Amino acid sequence: DTGVSQDPRHKITKRGQNVTFRCDPISEHNRLYWYRQTLGQGPEFLTYFQNEAQLEKSRLLSDRFSAERPKGSFSTLEIQRTEQGDSAMYLCASSSTGAWGFGPGTRLTVT
Amino acid sequence: AQSVTQLDSQVPVFEEAPVELRCNYSSSVSVYLFWYVQYPNQGLQLLLKYLSGSTLVESINGFEAEFNKSQTSFHLRKPSVHISDTAEYFCAVSDRAGGTSYGKLTFGQGTILTVHP
């Protein structure tokens, strides 16, 4: 079990730029989730995939955010035209029957 | 919709003292309950979970939590804390999304536990 991995671990970008994060879930997990965690808060749900299908999106996920999981394996989260309010830790998690795993997160800083 | 309330944002205690971190939830459906721990600059780690069966669940490092359905609570306790328990603790709930597959997690705001020597 290699765990959930995320890349990059840190990203600093200027306001208005686009960024893309990658998540590799635990290989046998069919469900994949993205969360956002800001300082002093618990993680907040953004979106969820079962295999390659995106089944739920939070109202937090504005039109500037898009997530994909093209082959039901890894997933990408793209933020277009970043804003300072997008600065946060972006967490990926995967699950299957009886198990959950969280990745280490990607810390985004928008300057 | 589900919500989780962690009643204390910060809990300072001395080493070897007992501690209780409080968590209340609301949900219109049956839930699974979790406690996660986050050490500084690290990711979330599962501490313990309640799925079904015995309402008292234990972790390998001495923490325990008890599911109280009537009070919709899942408080975390440890009889004697160590310096190394200093971390942020998150309570979370998940709806029972079909069998034992887990749905999305809804987290509380977190409780920062600081253990002083």
Q: Each residue of B65-92: pLDDT tens digit? A: 999 989 999 999 999 999 999 999 999 9
Instruction: Fill in the amino acid letter for A110.
Output: V
> A8: cis peptide before it, omega within 30°?
yes
What is residue B85's three-state secondary structure?
A: helix
Residue B10 CA from chain centroid, whole number: 14
Q: Is the pLDDT of residue B100 over 50?
A: no
User: What is the percentage of chain A residues whose pLDDT exceeds 90?
Assistant: 72
Which residue in chain B is spatially nearest to A43 when comparing CA positions?
B107
Nearest CB to B100 within list A40, A93, A98 = A98
Which chain A residues contact residue B3 at CB under 8 A?
none
Biggest alpha carbon–alpha carbon distance for chain B: 46
Task: For residue range A23-61, list pLDDT tens digits in order.
Answer: 999 988 889 999 999 988 899 999 999 999 998 899 888
CB contact under 8 A, B44 and A43: yes
CB contact under 8 A, B108 and A41: no
Which residue in chain B is spatially nearest to A29 when comparing CA positions?
B101
